[in-house]
């Protein structure tokens, strides 16, 4: 389950200490729809307002803009600037009040357990890390707020496909004879998708300072580098110098190096 939402609860400072929430949630079993929901002063989850909205597009294929406008009169949800749902405040079914709950913005992704499998589907680990990717988040205060660009601020990036590429992981291993190091570099785009056909360059260091310096990612987005052979024991390091993948811009992670002891 991956989400973008606001939340206030009993452990937050300020407000009335009760559970208040406004949700945009993707349930793992059905990514073709998005669930919109809210809770008002509801510590027992007694009154939910869940509604599944068909998207009409593949949310895994490109970034889209999801948001809501929360005022004293209503909560209105938007997708790519289009109103898809609105719930008005009422005496018998109130929406959260800013005067009662100091909500914070949250994004998260998590595997559901058996208690929530009927809601989001049964989680099955695919053998690799799963990701939710958020391109940007913006908050505009005031009852008169709009999704237009406010004065003095930068416009949000356009809805569309991937624009950047980066190194997700560098895995190091030693061959069975303990003479050669192997570095596997995983490359993904800013949608969290593996990138095949990317050219990765790098350098070796330590007790083996030579080997492959340029390799291409395979269909799984992995470029495999082999060092030269040596029987000298010690640490072997490998650093990625750059990644070239078509029109995608390379964004270097904080750590582009890894090492292993042979």
In this predicted model, which residue has the larger pLDDT, 130 or 262? 262
pLDDT, averaged across the chain: 90
Residue entry with tokens 């559901």: 112
pLDDT tens digit string along 175-201?
Answer: 998 999 999 999 998 877 889 999 999
Confidence class of residue 154 from pLDDT cuts 50, 70 and 90?
A: low
CATH 3.40.920.10 fits 2-120, yes or no: no
Instruction: Average the pLDDT over 213-240 and give the result.
Output: 95
Task: Give the separation between CA 67 and CA 138, rounded to whole angstroms.
Answer: 9
Instruction: Output the six-digit token pair for 84.
Output: 């898809």
Residue 160 has pLDDT above 70, yes or no: no
Where does the pLDDT of residue 158 fall: very low under 50, low under 70, confident under 90, or very high at 90 and above? low
CA distances to 2, 130, 187, 237, 259 from 198, in Å: 28, 21, 8, 22, 22
Average pLDDT over residues 31-59: 93
Write down the pLDDT at residue 197: 93
End-to-end CA distance of the chain: 41
Q: Which residue has the higher pLDDT, 101 or 69?
A: 69
The confidence band for 235, taking pLDDT boundaries of 50, 70 and 90, is very high
Whether 156 shows a pLDDT value over 70: the answer reads no
What integer is the mean pLDDT of 1-27? 91
Share of the chain above pLDDT 90, in %: 60
- With a cut of 80, say whether residue 113 has pLDDT above it: yes
Out of 25, 86, 100, 143, pick the active-site residue. Answer: 25
- CATH topology match: 2-120 vs 164-261: no
Q: How far apart are CA 115 and CA 1, in angstroms?
A: 13
Average pLDDT, integer, range 91-114: 91
Catalytic residue among 21, 50, 51, 143: 21
Instruction: With cut-offs at 50, 70 and 90, classify the pLDDT of residue 162.
Output: confident
Cβ neighbourhood burial of 96 (10 Å; 0-12, 13-18, 19+): buried
Which of the pair, 136 or 105, is modelled with greater confidence? 105
Based on the residue annotation, tell me whether 100 is a catalytic residue of this protein: no
| % of the chain exceeding 70 in pLDDT | 95
Contact at 8 Å (CB) between 89 and 74? yes
pLDDT for 131:
83
Q: How far is CA 132 from CA 4, 31, 189, in A?
A: 10, 12, 12
**CA of 124: how far to CAs of 16, 84, 223, 238, in Å?**
38, 31, 27, 33
Q: Please check whether residue 156 is in contact with residue 137, taking contact to mean a CB–CB distance below 8 angstroms.
A: no
pLDDT tier, 151 (very low <50, low <70, confident <90, very high otherwise): low
Determine the average pLDDT of the residues in 87-114. 92
**Coil, strand, or helix at residue 70?**
strand
Residue 159 has what pLDDT? 58
Return the domain boundaries, the chain. Answer: 2-120, 164-261
Q: What CATH number should be reported for the domain whose range is 164-261?
A: 2.60.40.10
Q: Assess whether 21 carries a catalytic annotation.
A: yes
Residues in Cβ contact with 108 at an 8 Å cutoff, skipping those fewer than 6 apart = 2, 3, 132
Closest CA to 249 of 128, 170, 149, 157: 157
Report, as an integer, the average pLDDT of 238-258: 91
Rounded to two decimals, the pTM is: 0.62
């Amino acid at each position: 389950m991956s989400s973008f939402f606001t939340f206030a609860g009993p452990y937050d400072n300020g407000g009335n200490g009760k559970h208040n929430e406004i949700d945009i949630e993707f349930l793992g079993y059905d990514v073709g729809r998005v669930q919109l929901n809210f809770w008002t002063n509801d510590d027992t989850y007694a009154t939910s307002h869940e509604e599944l909205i068909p998207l009409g597009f593949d949310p895994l294929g490109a970034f889209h803009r999801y948001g809501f406008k929360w005022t004293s009169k209503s909560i209105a949800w938007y997708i790519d600037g289009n109103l898809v749902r609105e719930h008005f405040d009422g005496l018998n079914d109130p929406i959260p009040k800013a005067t009662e709950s100091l909500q914070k913005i949250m994004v998260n992704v998590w595997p559901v357990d058996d208690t929530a499998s009927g809601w989001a589907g049964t989680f099955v680990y695919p053998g690799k890390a799963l990701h939710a990717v958020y391109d940007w988040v913006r908050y505009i205060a005031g009852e008169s707020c709009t999704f237009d660009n406010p004065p003095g601020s930068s416009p949000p990036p356009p809805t569309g496909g991937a624009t950047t590429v980066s190194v997700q992981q560098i895995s190091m291993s030693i061959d069975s004879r303990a003479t050669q190091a192997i570095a596997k570099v995983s490359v993904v785009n800013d949608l969290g998708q593996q990138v095949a056909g990317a050219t990765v360059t790098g350098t070796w260091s330590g007790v083996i300072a030579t080997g492959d310096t340029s390799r291409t990612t395979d269909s799984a987005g992995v470029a495999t580098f082999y060092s030269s052979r040596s029987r000298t024991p010690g640490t072997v390091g490998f650093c990625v110098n750059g990644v070239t993948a078509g029109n995608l811009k390379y964004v270097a992670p904080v750590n582009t190096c890894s090492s292993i002891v042979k």
